[in-house]
A and B are shown apart, each in its own frame.
Chain A
Amino acid sequence: MVEIFDNLTQFLAAFIACLLSSILYLRSRRQPYFLLACFYGCFMLSGIYWMLYTILITDSPPMFYVADIGWISGYLFLYLLQDALSDSHERAFKCRSMWLAPLIEIPLTAYFISIGTVIYNLITGGIFLTLVLRSVRGFVYQRKQPGSKKWYFHFSLLCFLMLENCLWLSSYPWVSNTLTNPYFWIDFTVTASLFCMLPAVRKAVNQ
């Protein structure tokens, strides 16, 4: 029951955010809103699939989840969104904090590969490494720019990515369908961070 509620809230959050970002795109015709709507759309579709799968079927499939493909697509749109919101100076910027990305993502990917599928975890690990690296770089760079509001976006994205990592980490050691399982609490926070990305992108676009 908790799992259904958790998935339902995440689906609704993604659906509302997709609708709002689509309206923002139609009103302003700004590219970041289109990419954000695509990200939320992918997340929403995967969310429905995952929710239906957990309700209708109890066994895990022998090969892969279709929902995983939708989530990877969502991350690809996040990658494009990062690119759309950065300028050439930001892209050329280098700092030591960027090393945090491989330091976090490589051991995590190795751990996930050791307990899960190789191809999926390699793809997700690679995308997450790139996203975290660019988020850290963007955050550090934008914080140094006086009056810049783009750091909100990088910060919200970084929070979302870190929470996703925590979610996957928590999904293996705890197996319980009650609220005592930290997995659900982390997933609720992921839902909140997912929704927070919309105002953060809005701030970055309106700057």
Chain B
Amino acid sequence: MTYIENIFVCIAAPLLITALCMGRRYLRFFLFCFAGMGACMLSAYINTFIASLYGASPFNTTAEIAPVVEEIMKFLPLLFYLLVFEPEPDKIKNAILTIAAGFATFENIFHLIDNGAQNISFLLMRGFGAGAMHIICGAIIGSGLTYVWRREWLKIAGTLGLLGASIAFHGIYNLLIAYGGEVQYIAYVLPVLTVFLSIILSKLVFPKLRDKISA
């Protein structure tokens, strides 16, 4: 049996002390990080519960249940932040990305506990792959929300739509991972490539396109 809440306490404790030492300016970052880790831990419990409720196989749990549960759980701390603090649009993106990073870190810890840490090349791929996938899912919601949350009538339907898009992306990744074999390597490469492509597009192509249009 894995005492995952004990592991959570061990990881969160030094980070919490650091957050207190670094002051209010960095507190938000650490809090979102904890929220991401907490969401990951709760997702594991909910995934197990739903899987036993439906009698789902491990494959179906990974490919069908986990994307939905994990994306919803990742979104809940952000929803709380949006509803209670009503932040500026530029802060929304950073918040969801930090939550996603916390979630991915804790998920990797789960993986290490279950499968060991012997194979560094595989872990490197897995670390970057899972990290990039969660960041992309966060970016889909974050970048969309900065647009959607500004308009009253767009809020509910737009938010649900973005959540659905991130679930679909997460589902593709999990489906390939769950299938295993050579196919899972495509899953690890896919989000990393998407991140690189997004960076190239946002840093190089889009500014040039914008300049061209304004000229």
Chain A 28-46 per-residue mask, 1 if CB under 8 angstroms from chain B, else 0 = 0000001000100110011
Closest to A64 in B: B64
Is B54 in contact with A41, judged by CB distance below 8 angstroms? Answer: no
Chain B 37-55 per-residue mask, 1 if CB under 8 angstroms from chain A, else 0 = 0000000000000000011
Q: What is the CB-to-nearest-CB distance from A139 to chain B, in angstroms, rounded to a whole number?
A: 22
Q: In whole angstroms, what is the CA distance A72 to B169 when docked?
A: 14
In A102-135, the 8 Å CB interface with B consists of none
Q: Using a Cβ–Cβ cut-off of 8 Å, how many residues does chain B contribute to the interface with A? A: 35
Is B213 in contact with A27, judged by CB distance below 8 angstroms? Answer: yes
Q: What is the CB-to-nearest-CB distance from B123 to chain A, in angstroms, rounded to a whole number?
A: 24
Contacts of A57 in B (CB 8 A): 59, 63, 179
Contacts of B7 in A (CB 8 A): none
Q: Name which of A48-56, A92-100, A158-166 contacts chain B.
A: A48-56
Is B56 in contact with A63, judged by CB distance below 8 angstroms? Answer: yes
Is A46 in contact with B161, judged by CB distance below 8 angstroms? Answer: no
- The verdict on A70 contacting B64 (CB below 8 Å), with A26-B209, A26-B210, A45-B172 known, is no
Contacts of A66 in B (CB 8 A): 63-64, 67-68, 167-168, 171, 175
B183 within 8 A of partner (CB): yes
Q: Pick from B63, B144, B161 the residue with the most CB of A within 10 Å.
A: B161
A9 within 8 A of partner (CB): no
What range describes how many residues of A lie at the interface?
20 to 34
Q: Name which of B8-16, B75-83, B152-160 contacts chain A.
A: B152-160
Contacts of B210 in A (CB 8 A): 26
In A43-98, the 8 Å CB interface with B consists of 45-46, 48-49, 52-53, 56-57, 61-67, 69-70, 72-74, 76-77, 79-80, 83
Instruction: Given A66-B63, A66-B175, A80-B153, output 16 extra A-B contacts at Cβ < 8 Å.
Output: A27-B213, A34-B147, A38-B161, A42-B161, A42-B168, A45-B165, A49-B168, A49-B175, A57-B179, A62-B54, A63-B56, A63-B64, A69-B168, A73-B163, A76-B161, A76-B164
Residues of B at the A interface (CB closer than 8 Å) are 54-56, 59-60, 63-65, 67-68, 144, 147, 153-154, 157-158, 160-165, 167-169, 171-172, 175-176, 179, 183, 206, 209-210, 213
List 19 A–B pairs whose Cβ atoms lie within 8 Å, in order of A's numbering.
A26-B206, A42-B161, A42-B168, A48-B172, A49-B172, A52-B176, A53-B63, A56-B175, A61-B63, A66-B63, A66-B68, A66-B167, A67-B171, A69-B171, A73-B161, A76-B157, A79-B157, A80-B153, A80-B157
